[in-house]
Structure 1
Amino acid sequence: MRFEGTVYLEGGSTTRDAVSLGQGEESSCADVGRDAVGTYFADDPGQVALWSLGGFDPAHVVAVREP
């Protein structure tokens, strides 16, 4: 995910309370085949709702809710 210019990596799950933070950009991954580029952000990336977690600065930690 990318939010306000910062790229975030997955680091686990939590049951903490969350507060809506806004929309972030979803990365894509092309890691198979001869021309694999790995993770990247498309020119027009998908959007995903992001959440802040109590006790954590959103400059360092954001959350995504699993469906």
Structure 2
Amino acid sequence: KIELQIKTMTDKLKEIRGSDVILPTVSYGYSIFPGGDHLDFNKILKEADDQMYHYKKAHKDRYQQEASIRYTLQDI
């Protein structure tokens, strides 16, 4: 369910960005609490934070690879 909500949010932001509206960038991470006796907020927050930075790095690496390929193709 959370994946659908996040996809809906990012799709809507993408749609709005396409209409020349300047919006800030958004970074988010999430963690799913599996239930149990003890809610460790710090652990769950760290999991969400780690996930967010993992995806930010992956996105940055992908963007840099794509930019490198574009520049290489321009040189050919």
Do they fold alike, i.e. is TM over 0.5?
A: no
Q: TM-score, normalised by structure 2?
A: 0.26
- Structure having greater relative contact order (Cα 8 Å, sep ≥ 6): 1
Higher helix share: 2
Q: TM-score, normalised by structure 1?
A: 0.28
If you compute each CA radius of gyration, which structure gives the higher value, 1 or 2? Answer: 2
